[in-house]
Chains A and B, each alone.
Chain A
Amino acid sequence: MNDAQTLAVQVAAIEQVTPLIKHFTLKSVDGGPLPAFSGGSHIIVVMRGNLRTHRNPYSLLSAPHRLDAYEIGVRRMEESRGGSHFMHDQVKVGTRLEIAHPVNLFGLDKIARKHLLIAGGIGITPFLAQIEDLRGTSVPYELHYAVRSAEHAAFLPRLREREGERVHLYYDSEDQAIDFAGLLSEQPLGTHVYVCGPAGLIKRVVDTAHAYGWPGSHIHWEQFSAPPVGDAFDVFLSRTNITVHVPHDRSLLESIEGAGVEVPYLCRGGVCGFCQTAVLELDGELLHNDHFLSDAEKARAKSIMPCVSRARCKSLVLDL
């Protein structure tokens, strides 16, 4: 996508739901309905600050059949390039933002016999929308939700009210941990597992499921990597014939966009592969942070996902 295809929205409500998470309600500026979507979808929020434009992906947590507003949850990141701080500190009720049409890279499998949903922290957001799709179907599902402590359990009242006993809650502060082996060894055939949250949680679930012989097609996870900070470097764009400086706290994609060069993207989180760019020359190493390229492709160093990956290099030439 590019910014020409965004929807104009206005912040209708903001609620601080945990010490770190704010809950935003967005309505279209013209008051009309927003596009319908499917549970698990995310939007890119375009935040135009004074110094730079941030574009961050956030899962939609509102009910997919509700078209008068979109809701997102934003966790304040400690190591932030500024997007989550912008949402927390700059955005007020009435602030106008641009968003992209929803994209679903974490959809529910429609022929699953059962859905096992596992969330850690802010990873609860896509599941809030998905359970709206699931409620009322005849397919069974369970939600397992792990948080640091009671005060960090975002959206729990909403979950309790709508889901009751189907929510299994785990507080780190009380040494309650998900029994991954117990959970994943006893599911009926045809169950699909979905996990969203911190990298460690995702790895535990995926590794345990594989160990118990789950087919890869039944294991789903989503983790939007925030582009990590790193050393500054320069990149030469061969088709545009310009050199772009990538500062330590900006991503390669943001820096290229800042120079006025458009790169097609979807997720901006290293998941979809849309911004894959060919590396023509490299003196140094690529620091791959995406979940799209295989290890072999990463080692070959012939392409890069500029949304999350960087380089430590003397020179880098991209086919842009």
Chain B
Amino acid sequence: MSPRPEAPRRPKLLIVDDGDRYVELAHALLRDYDYATRCSLPGPCWSCPARRGCTLTHAHDAREADAALAQHPDVDVVLLDVAFDVPEARLLPSTERDLARRQRLQGIAILAHLRRARGDLPVILMTSEAELAYEDAAEALAVDEFVTLAGEAAFDARALSLLIERVLARRRDAPASGGYAWGTTPAMARLRRDATTLARTSLPMLLVGETGTGKSALAERVIHPATQRRGPFVAVDLSALPESLVAAELFGTARGAFSGAVDRPGRFEQASGGTLLLDEIGNLSPELQRTLLLVLQDARVTRLGESSPRPVDVKLLAATNTDLDDAVRRGAFRADLLARLHPAARLRLPPLRERSADLPELARAFVQRAFAAGPDRALLARYLELARLAPPTHAPTEPPHADLALGRPPPGPVRGVLFVLATASLRALAAHPFSGNVRELELLLRTAAVSALSDALTALESRPPDTRATPPLPSARKPTPLDPARVIPLPARLIRELLAAAPPMPASPPHSLSAPAQNAILDTPRMPFSTPAHTFRIRPGDTAHAVAADLERQLYERLYTESNGDFTVMAKALLTGDATKNARRVRLRFNQLGLRVRKRG
């Protein structure tokens, strides 16, 4: 469905520089890129009437870089200056007393700061080894595989452009492109080839596979980038929407279409120019199947309450874990709609049991990803700092990094923290049915790694500060193979307990809330140590899943506080059955929600 030619998305650059030299150069000579500005006016800056004196063109310090990245999460490459001649108050906090040195190396500190949130964001440091006095930052830069020194290309527009293209190509061609763990089985190799080939066409694509096989991730991280379309990736989980709201959500509304309706574009319009994923398409009602068929035929949508259709240009992806052929035979799904979804070229994602050879690679990728961003990355950073495996936050700083070894740690230097999974545990994982497929495996490994790290951190925090470093600070700054603090085993007992306690992954949990609300009363009648009802705050989010996770996080926080951190008591409030096993399940979920165990008291 593509009435207009698809314009490839232009790479987006964020410039972080205390001055305006780089941005002036880029706007004058590098106009093939989009720029992450801090303003809301449409670009580009060089044709903006308000450009004179504008300071929103780029980020001038770490705080503004955070703001720009929050406004532009789709930044492809950061161009980062190293020296920042800014007042001390605008520098990142540091234990370094020499203000001039802090300013001279502030870019390295900003790099470490960015790494805490975005571990794999390509960064080009606008400097050379000689200019940087390389030894000052060599350690931090040597362990960062996503940083590149511009060298003499820093102010050479043509060379800089080539460097940016090389960085982009390297990321595009990386084996785990987009963070999708492919493995090596023939079925996955076929899937990868077909997905990237079909992505470049205008045809709709149908992704089929059991729950948890990675359909949404494939759509967002692989297919959408491979389309090279400039518009956004938009996903709708049709199983998570009340049936009465699906039409409004997909096609939009006009003011007055129904009581309370406002002018609002639907997901088709939001995704125009980009990619739209309709997840669990088997849940679509017969009436909406007919409407969707018309949209696919005409490449136009009509908002509820309007009569004039609007053109849309989306790459449509549909995903399902149900057998649509069978649904057609039963009369539950329209044959003509299935035909439109290009069933001959459907992409089948194999269940985990058909790709057990990929288990080691998947396990490693999932542990790396667990600490690549978010609260668990902060936890890892805290551990590295407390164990004095990384110096305090003044530059240079070792970026938090986690990896997984099977059996025993390999010889040679260890970067960051290395989790070790026993061979027996790998065998236990291979023998487990994993009805929730790779999603269940990822959650289990993330929980095991975060639990083990959390335990190691708790043990470290309970020791007097002067006994935490092993070995002491001066020799601990370089990665050493023998440093025991860098190696954290994933206990076999923990893996066994998680496998035994892991609940089957639900395909789609039932939903009962029918309308957004700012506050809701959720009844918690089996809580033995509290009043039976609590108020929870509902914060609207990007996805229904994010909103639900936020609510669940509030519940767990509340229970954790009221039970004084006793997971057995929490388990009794939440689950029926064996309290000991349930306590492990509750702790598993607690960790999955990004919550952290605190000392009791």
A associates with B:
no
